[in-house]
Structure 1
Amino acid sequence: MKFTIKLPTDLKEMSVEALLINEWLVPKKQRHFLRTKRHLFINGDIANFSHQVEGDDQITVIFDSEDFPAKSLSFGDQILGRSLILYEDEHLVIANKPDNMKTHGNDANEIALQNHVAAACNQTVYVVHRLDFETSGAVLFAKNPFVLPILDHMLRERQIHRTYQALCAGQVKQDKMIIDQPIGTDRHDKKRRVVVSRGGQRAVTHVLVLKRLATETLVQCQLETGRTHQIRVHLSSLDHAILGDAVYRGRKASRLMLHAKHLELRHPFTQEIIRVTATSESFERIMKKIVTD
């Protein structure tokens, strides 16, 4: 793998080592290979780690199979994968996952969204975050192992912003609210999660009412944390279970009415703001039917 990256114009001057460690989060092992193999260049010239870089410099890095061992992934449907891609560049790809499709398979032979996206990109892609099987919407993948730890770090530091829409039962009275309730595993069913008074993981969901209907409310949810089933558990705990959510006793619907509508991040190398909007025909169809009934 060979990448040439033009540094953002407003980047402050720093050493190559600082760039690799603090800005790009390159793991220690890979930094060692870059140093010993002299596989790092500034504006076309071989550089060492003490050299200074600044805005608009072009940094080239080369990684071989020893640096990042190749990982194989079974390819899915190339045409389907291409139809689902919302954004793609040299380092990352964002796809619109349909409802009732896994983000990634549980074994090498299982085909999921990751495999379809890989077929469309004609290369292995790496999962940065996942959506539940029943949930639709925007999912981020890394296109190489170089950028993967950077995106993982951005996700942990809440620098990747995910906005969901959910149609839940009843009329949510508050226009805005913050649900700050820890979540733990249901001791009666390990597949379910519940709000707990102690011993759970911190979980915070920001909720904004978008539209009140006769017996439902369309809400927007933003995650401050990313716990399993977080939005589903939090809304259900307030007696506003999401329609179609059989696990959390939501009213019957032909699909889970939870959709990852927007995904936004600052590109780790170019600093460009990337914001995508994912649509779902099944979600909109059910919404339209409920509004007109």
Structure 2
Amino acid sequence: MKFTIKLPTTLKKMTVAELLTTEWLVPKKQRHLLRTKQHVLINDDVAKFSDLVSGGDQITVLFDTTDFPDKKLVFGDKQLGESLILYEDDHLVIVNKPEYMKTHGNGTSEIALQNHIAAACGQIVYVVHRLDFETSGAVLFAKNPFVLPILDQMLHDRQIHRTYQALCAGQFTQDKLTINQAIGTDRHDKKRRVVVARGGQRAVTHIHVLKRFAGDTLVQCQLETGRTHQIRVHLSSLGHAILGDTVYRGHKASRLMLHAKHLELSQPFTKEKIRVTAVSESFERVMRKIATD
């Protein structure tokens, strides 16, 4: 496995070790393999970790097939996968997940979004984050096991920004608010999550009202954390359950009215700013009906 990356011209001079550790966020295990096997090249010359790199240099990293665990994935519908891709480069792909489709299967034989995108890319893709089965919108996949832990770290460090839209019941008295309430499992139903006073996971959601209707409100939600059902639980806890949310007693709608509208990040190696917008026809159709009722 070989990856060749041209460093952006704006990159300051630094050592190979600094490049891999600080700039690229390469995990310790992978750095160890690259160092001991001398598998880093600068402009096609074998490099030491103490060597300096500069903007414009061409960096090549090499991995043996045994350096990463073997993974198998059944390919899905190539045409469907191609129709969902919003952005793709050598290392990552961002796609527009339809509502009522799993991000990934529970077993090797179950076909889900991941399988369709793998077919479209002609290779295995790796899940960086997921959306609930009922939720539509932008989802990020890694295209190789080298970049996967880097994207995982970026997500943990909040360098990947996800913006959602939700249509909720009722009127908000504030235009902006932050919900900082821990979330835990409902002891009466393990499939549900609830706001808890103790023992839950920290969960923070930033809410911005976009539009008010007669009985409902369209809001924008930005996640500071990424807990299961976070937006759904937080909005429901305020008495503003998302329309179509049968789990959290939302008002009736033809679908769950939660959509991952935007996804933003810097490309891990080139530092190119990436921002995609995912559009859902079914979400927009419900919005038009609400606006005219």
Give the alignment's TM-score, normalised by structure 2.
Answer: 0.97
Determine whether 1:92 maps to 2:92.
yes
Amino acid at match of 1:43: N
Determine whether 1:270 maps to 2:270.
yes
2-structure distance, mates of 1:194, 1:263: 26
Amino acid at match of 1:267: Q
Per-residue CA shift, 1:26-80, capped at 9, x if unaligned? 3333333323333211012111111111211110111120222432210000000
2-structure distance, mates of 1:60, 1:19: 12
Q: Per-residue deviation at 1:20? A: 1.6
Q: Per-residue deviation at 1:267? A: 0.8
Q: Per-residue deviation at 1:245? A: 0.3
2-structure distance, mates of 1:74, 1:162: 28
Counterpart secondary structure, 1:205? strand
Amino acid at match of 1:40: V
Counterpart secondary structure, 1:166? strand
| Map of 1:227 onto structure 2 | 227
The answer (yes or no) to whether the contact 2:103–2:113 under 8 Å persists in 1 is yes
Greater shift, 104-113 or 180-189, is seen at: 180-189
2-structure distance, mates of 1:64, 1:122: 20
2-structure distance, mates of 1:286, 1:25: 42
Counterpart secondary structure, 1:66? helix
| Map of 2:244 onto structure 1 | 244
Determine whether 1:213 maps to 2:213.
yes
Greater shift, 12-21 or 137-146, is seen at: 12-21
The answer (yes or no) to whether the contact 2:74–2:109 under 8 Å persists in 1 is yes
| Map of 2:73 onto structure 1 | 73
| Map of 2:113 onto structure 1 | 113
Amino acid at match of 2:238: L
2-structure distance, mates of 1:175, 1:31: 47
Greater shift, 73-82 or 31-40, is seen at: 31-40
| Map of 1:27 onto structure 2 | 27
Aligned residues with identical type, % of pairs: 78
Give the unaligned 5+ runs of structure 2.
Answer: none
Counterpart secondary structure, 2:275? strand
Q: Per-residue deviation at 1:12? A: 2.2
Amino acid at match of 1:208: H
Give the unaligned 5+ runs of structure 1.
Answer: none
Amino acid at match of 1:213: F
| Map of 2:195 onto structure 1 | 195
| Map of 1:61 onto structure 2 | 61
Amino acid at match of 2:143: K
The answer (yes or no) to whether the contact 2:99–2:136 under 8 Å persists in 1 is yes
The answer (yes or no) to whether the contact 2:27–2:150 under 8 Å persists in 1 is no
1-structure distance, mates of 2:38, 2:223: 42
Counterpart secondary structure, 2:191? strand
Determine whether 1:130 maps to 2:139.
no
Greater shift, 13-22 or 220-229, is seen at: 13-22
The two structures, once aligned, show a CA RMSD in angstroms of 1.1
Per-residue CA shift, 1:103-133, capped at 9, x if unaligned? 0000000000000000000000000000000
| Map of 1:281 onto structure 2 | 281
Amino acid at match of 2:144: N
2-structure distance, mates of 1:213, 1:122: 45
Amino acid at match of 2:50: S
